[in-house]
Structure 1
């Protein structure tokens, strides 16, 4: 039996990762090493317009590989898009998925692979470990520094009919390879840099205070917080500074490894509900909610939140202090990123809150929040964040 003070048993999963400027050029050799012959490339129109997806397609075709392009992914990927993509994947007899883009393209690509191998409806895969058969090989080339879908076991899909997001959480969702190339983030707008960066910071915060955190995930979460607090404002101010982009991408990757293995919490449960109902940008939803959830959770994990404050500010407050210092750090960062506080700014109305709260309450991320939250608690937080 484990002795007093011994570490809890935890597992840690991660894909093969290649990180560095220009590493997207390795895509061809890795597709060949996975025996890919007919490649299903998932992306969205914006990423094609920026040139990244087309470059990857050209690289693969130059090696004599067939490429089937699917670029119909919405900012919040829909179940119908996953099903349509899986149908085309099977009709075209593809054998490997390459996802190029932000979290939406990557989550859609992961969903397509799982549906194609399991011959199921994507909604039947909702929940934890519901993907019975492994997905085909998938390689991800992220073009944003925030979602970290390229290193995680999660895929978040929108159910259009019910106006909600649902999570597929399974090691089958873990990509085979992530080619994390900071150069691809150089075409992000200032607004996208801010919102995706705040998504990454939320990953770091929530995984660190998660009930399922461990020594392994804590290490990544704290370093992610330090990197993002220092370099995200610089990336916003100096969008052409590749060194700064490198650091933000590294912070995002660390946060992704942390949350993939420790899960998340109430910020993401409530943000998923907002995104499913309003089709709002995920990172912006997190930005609006983070400080409110820190305030709600603080009493259940005060030491950990003080660690996060120290990671952001470089100094640790006295144990007699509450969340005010950390809340101020968050506010100063969002102000620097020109994120206007208030859910009303993204279209939330008082009459939406009951529906939003009911959906947030059943989100699986709530299970690892450090403080239990009732529907009434969630309603109150939404009201406070308006």
Structure 2
């Protein structure tokens, strides 16, 4: 008998939810928290909002915000030192995927020691982590609810994929108001990351009825609300819907894992400073085309969820409708179509193909993949 498992943190969702940070930490027994953020979060005012909330409940804190996009191993090590030196006992991550993944990884090193590369793969964390409260400020990464952390290994020039149920935060705080400070390009990039999470988890070999519900809901929400969210920072309905889409896609992929898009995106992101969501936007339709023969019914159903009319079509024809829908959505919101537009170098494809094949996300792709297949997908997307 197959046993379904579904792991999720406590979730606080809604306008003003960021005001719950301090009280949430106190409920977890925290005495002094390390607040982890980055420059964008600081400039938008959300780091200060969290600091003021901690002060309001008389919760001591330290701050570490030397995090860059696609956080690096040395940044994590620095953050762990700050955690230990300040005698913190909990971690609050504030931001998008970069800040939240860094916050989780800081917690790993601070309590388990060693180097972050020691934890690459599945279930390598052996000692309990401190309480984790993650505050999402982008509708994209899903890190606030996931068992993933992605960190760049600077020497190896690759992204480390760390997967462990220990990384599922104790409390996830999602405040759609924070999305109003994001520019159109970031909204578009993170939104397509959300869509990729949802689609990959839906076709994953590890998908279950529990993850399918979350993935379908996320796909429907992105299809309807990503365009208006990119068009207007003040569209409250669109921001709320995209925040919910990101949350539900995060729940789906945290439990069903992902696939070839993310495995390949991690290989690119380790070598080139490109936006993760834009990488996914380029790769997604090519990988969907590759996977079509393995999961035609799934892609046909995705087309229906996206609002496409599939009446009278074969399953394969309906499945192709989902691919054309993704291409049109990406075009409408202005994300790149090819890697040649983004500065990716063709000479790096052979090594990236080998790195992608070894990524943990490739295990759950619905169609078997060889290094030659990955190489061809990269070149088609170039």
Matches of 1:356 and 1:204 in 2, distance apart? 24
State the match for 2:60 in structure 1.
66
Shift of 1:314: 4.4
Judge conservation of contact 1:24–1:181 (CA < 8 Å) in 2.
yes
> Aligned to 2:367, which of 371, 376, 383?
371
Shift of 1:142: 0.5
State the match for 2:358 in structure 1.
362
Secondary structure of the corresponding residue to residue 278 of structure 1: coil
Shift of 1:320: 4.7
State the match for 2:140 in structure 1.
146
1:319 is aligned to 2:319: no
Judge conservation of contact 2:299–2:320 (CA < 8 Å) in 1.
no
1:235 is aligned to 2:239: no
State the match for 1:55 in structure 2.
49
Matches of 1:373 and 1:320 in 2, distance apart? 23
1:201 is aligned to 2:172: no
Matches of 1:320 and 1:114 in 2, distance apart? 45
State the match for 2:38 in structure 1.
44
TM-score between the two structures when normalised by the length of structure 1 = 0.97
Matches of 2:225 and 2:29 in 1, distance apart? 39
Q: Deviations over 1:223-257 (max 9, x none)?
A: 11000100001101122111110001101111000
State the match for 2:96 in structure 1.
102
State the match for 1:112 in structure 2.
106
State the match for 2:3 in structure 1.
9
Q: Which deviates more from structure 2 when the two are superposed, residues 54-63 or residues 299-308?
A: 54-63
> Aligned to 1:340, which of 336, 343, 354?
336
Judge conservation of contact 2:72–2:151 (CA < 8 Å) in 1.
yes
Q: Which deviates more from structure 2 when the two are superposed, residues 314-323 or residues 117-126?
A: 314-323
Counterparts of 1:172-251 in structure 2 under 5 Å? 172-251=166-245
Counterparts of 1:280-319 in structure 2 under 5 Å? 280-316=274-310, 318-319=313-314
> Aligned to 1:270, which of 264, 267, 271?
264
Q: Deviations over 1:342-373 (max 9, x none)?
A: 01112112211111111111001000000011
Matches of 1:320 and 1:36 in 2, distance apart? 53
Matches of 1:51 and 1:340 in 2, distance apart? 29
Secondary structure of the corresponding residue to residue 89 of structure 1: helix
State the match for 1:331 in structure 2.
327
Secondary structure of the corresponding residue to residue 264 of structure 2: helix
Secondary structure of the corresponding residue to residue 91 of structure 2: strand
Q: Deviations over 1:259-305 (max 9, x none)?
A: 00000000000001111110211111100100000000000000001
Secondary structure of the corresponding residue to residue 360 of structure 1: helix
State the match for 1:352 in structure 2.
348
> Aligned to 1:254, which of 244, 248, 253?
248
1:22 is aligned to 2:16: yes
Secondary structure of the corresponding residue to residue 151 of structure 2: strand
Judge conservation of contact 1:307–1:316 (CA < 8 Å) in 2.
no
Secondary structure of the corresponding residue to residue 92 of structure 2: strand
Judge conservation of contact 1:313–1:329 (CA < 8 Å) in 2.
no
> Aligned to 1:33, which of 3, 9, 27?
27
State the match for 1:5 in structure 2.
none
Unaligned runs of 5+ in 2: none
Matches of 1:123 and 1:270 in 2, distance apart? 19
Q: Deviations over 1:48-103 (max 9, x none)?
A: 00000111011102322221110011110111111110111011110010010000
Matches of 2:52 and 2:316 in 1, distance apart? 56
- Number of equivalences: 380
Shift of 1:115: 1.1
Shift of 1:31: 1.2
